[in-house]
Structure 1
Amino acid sequence: MTDRQVVVRAIEKALGEVLEREIAELTEDTRLFDDLRLDSSSVLELLLLVEDSTEIAVDPEDLDIDHLRTVRSFADYVESLLDRAEADA
């Protein structure tokens, strides 16, 4: 499994927990707000779950709404944090 697949799988698992249901046919083009109907509290829960599962730390000042448009944009953001943490190690 590639690093990207691990990140997307972590997001998928977290979304299932947040929404309390399995997400059928989740793709990287799935829109978090429009398709899955996330709100501010569910986004916060999603961030916390993904932080825990990937061992990253999200800086709220670094987070932009564009990072949360789709599964792809969120996975890109998580990957950038993982790359940054790896470079700092």
Structure 2
Amino acid sequence: MNETMLDTIETIKRVLAEVRRNPELAAAMTPDTDIINDIGLDSLQMITFILSLEDAFSLEIDFEEFDFDHLASIRRLGDYIAARMAVEHV
């Protein structure tokens, strides 16, 4: 895993911990943590999480292509974000 992806994963973990208001949560997560089943965000937290990701990465998430599969793990979400950043910052 390259350094950019590691930074992306750390940012996702930080945002998740902030949304859950649990600073210790970031240290407990791995790249394979399932955002839906392991973190268990409610609907309001999920919206806050997505909006916070957009702010953290200065990108717009395209809800036409965004899928719950992207939330299967922090790594998968990181891959999605990396792809979006490549498209938006060209």
Provide runs of 4+ in structure 1 moved above 2 Å.
Answer: none
Contact 1:67 1:73 in 2 (8 A): yes
Contact 1:56 1:82 in 2 (8 A): yes
Contact 1:14 1:46 in 2 (8 A): yes
Contact 1:33 1:39 in 2 (8 A): no
Q: 2:37 maps to what in 1?
A: 34
RMSD: 1.4
User: How many matched pairs?
Assistant: 87
Q: 2:22 maps to what in 1?
A: 21
Inter-partner Cα distance in structure 1 for 2:65 and 2:9: 20
Structure 1 position 51, deviation (Å): 0.7
**Structure 2 residue ranges without an equivalent (≥5):** none
- The alignment's TM-score, normalised by the length of structure 2, stands at 0.87
Which region of structure 1 is more displaced relative to structure 2, 37-46 or 52-61? 37-46
Q: 2:47 maps to what in 1?
A: 44
Q: 1:79 maps to what in 2?
A: 82
Aligned-residue sequence identity (percent) comes to: 28
Letter in 1 for 2:49: L
Q: 1:11 maps to what in 2?
A: 12
Inter-partner Cα distance in structure 1 for 2:5 and 2:61: 18
Q: Give the SS at the match of 2:35.
A: coil
